[in-house]
Amino acid sequence: MATPLAEAYGPWGVIAGGSDGVGAAFAHKIASQGINVVLVARRGPVLEASADEIRAKYGVEVRTVVLDLSVPDAISGLARATSGLQVGLFVFNAGADDISVPFLDKDLDTHLSLVRRNCAAVMEAAYRFGAPMAARGRGGLVLVTSGAAWAGGAARAVYGATKAFDLILAEGLWAEWRSRGVDVLALVLGRTDTPSFRRALEAMGDGPPGELADPDDVAEAALAHLADGPVWIYGSADPAGGSPLGALSRRDAVLMVSGSWSANTEEEDKV
């Protein structure tokens, strides 16, 4: 018997950035409900290991697509690779920024790569995979964004801008597609226990990370509230509400989110 999730969003789900962390958690949650999954990521061996685990555990079909989502033809390639599948759920989870450094301390190609992955690829995926959902009158799209979208901040100007793009895109698509049977959710995450986040902490030389959200809990909450779009702020007392910085002026919000980086810079300058 099909589960409610499979009836609403099956028979296939695509998880972009599905090899570990939140993406892998989504893959397991979706597969546990009887939905076949397509895992998309750059690292082939990690991707195949995750696929083998899901097949063995849940008995669903699993396909893998080794793909760098920052290259210009990535999503057209993904569409070709899944052309024979009826995709009812698409989760775009790729797009972490491993190292937060000042804008001019990264080369231009790195910035452009991040924009292609977090903006152009997300928009193209929504277009290519959302159109058949809207035509069928059934489907779901989850865009994983970040608290960095709420305001600009030092050392993450481009990353925050791309995540704001994802947030606004999801809200707009929700408004357009809600009457066409397609659920759209911007999943706003804070500090989450993922390999990419821990790599970022290590690269910056930060100490213990403190309390982190569990990826399994994140994926479970997002799927449970997919129909409650356009936004779900994981861990917030008001998860469907607005920006937690809304009471501040834009200037004060930027200064606040830049505070930790500024403090660290000042300490380095004293050494």
Residues 106-156 have pLDDT tens digits of: 999 999 999 999 999 999 999 999 999 999 999 999 999 999 999 999 999
| pLDDT over threshold 70, residue 208 | no
| pLDDT over threshold 70, residue 196 | no
Residue 95 backbone dihedrals phi, psi, to 5 degrees: 125, 20
Name 116's Cβ contacts closer than 8 Å, sequence gap at least 6. 69, 70, 71, 72
Distance CA 233, CA 244 (A): 10
Distance CA 85, CA 234 (A): 31
Give me the CATH number covering residue 208: 3.40.50.720
Domain extent at residue 246:
4-270
pLDDT for position 202: 58
Active-site residue identified among 9, 58, 159, 234: 159
> Does the reported pTM lie above 0.85?
yes
Catalytic residue status for 159: yes
**Count of domains observed in the chain:** 1
Residue 96 pLDDT level (bands cut at 50, 70, 90): confident
Cis preceding-peptide flag for 230 (omega within 30 of 0): yes
pLDDT for position 2: 78
- Residue position matching structure tokens 């509400």: 241
